Amino acid sequence: MRLADDHAGEHAAELSTLAYSAFMNMALRGLSYLPYRLRRSGLRLTFVCLRPILASYVTDRMVNIFAAILASSRRESRLFTYRKLRHDMVALSEWMALGRRSTGGLTRDISHLSTDFGDDLTWLASQRGAVIGTLHFGPYALGLAWLIRRYFNDHKIIIFKNEDSRDESRAIARLKDIGADVEFVSPKALAELPRITREIRQGAVAIIMVDMPPQIGRTDAFDLLGRPVSIATGAVDLAALARAPLMLLRTREGVKGDRVEIGEIFDIGRQDDESRARAASRVTRFIADTIHHYPEQWHMWERFDEYVRDHKRAAA
């Protein structure tokens, strides 16, 4: 009888997941055509309407996992899970909007972003080439569009990013419509590295996600929320090879608008182990600080076990 109950529970959870995904995608596609403020208001309303489905979607297993990672109570973990799902919805909606809004609409959307680091970005744009390390965090697709349009429109932009879905592929194509010379490169395309290094030295700007789990290339270990993890640190090697400054940047969702925030800007220095270790430490400190203060806005939680597993494998 218990086995039958377990199977029934698993089946109900699967149905809830399917219902949540179907309704969410349908709603987000409709909202993606709307202007920024209407889109965000519609998202809040959609999330409220989804709460009955979410109650089944947010399983005890999910709550227990986050409770263990965050060292929180089950009640706090459940609330965190709801907040995380809402931020995931925002990020997905911005990818969809980037692929669907008109060029004029996108220009108006990015006007809602702001920063206190305009001088730093202006300085970076004046350099011969640069590497920007950012995160799967907040509404980062809108942040990329804002960054390119506002500061780097006259640069060749090389973005290291897998095209994870049809919506992201559509968004990638639309970035060129706002006047930027954009090239997307797979993080695993090692054969392209010499060419990309040359282009950065000639003035291109490379944008790379610095919070990827180990896949290929060099990795570094650090402490994340009390757990030892490993992370890919190819951005450090790319900046060192290109002899370009490395800027650490995130786009954070805020109540009164989204904020583009900078962690550090630095040169790697010499291409030796000690210089590389110092640079990697600055990158991992930026990641750990961001996730510590705003864990619900990080979009890589579903892959958290990869960071831990690869750390254990490297340590073995």
Residues 115-143: tens digit of each pLDDT = 999 999 999 999 999 999 999 999 999 99
Q: Length of the chain, please?
A: 316
HSE, CB side, 13 Å, CA atoms: give it for residue 86.
Answer: 21
Q: Is 312 exposed, middle or buried (0-12, 13-18, 19+ CB in 10 A)?
A: exposed
Where would I find the beta strands (DSSP E) of 63-162? Answer: 114-115, 130-134, 156-160
Return the residue matching tokens 């789990």: 213
CA distance 110 to 27: 22
Is a pLDDT exceeding 50 seen at residue 5?
no
pLDDT average, residue stretch 38-58: 83
Q: In this structure, what token pair is assigned to residue 82?
A: 């709801």
pLDDT average, residue stretch 45-64: 80
CA distance 249 to 133: 6
| 265-274 contacts, C-beta under 8 A, 24 or more apart | 265/120, 265/123, 265/124, 267/239, 267/243, 268/236, 268/239, 268/240, 269/240, 271/240, 271/241
Is a pLDDT exceeding 90 seen at residue 164?
no
pTM of the model: 0.88
Higher pLDDT, 16 or 239: 239
Residue from 141, 15, 33 nearest 88 by CA: 141
Domain boundaries, the chain: 2-100, 113-315
Q: Are 54 and 79 in contact (CB under 8 A)?
A: no
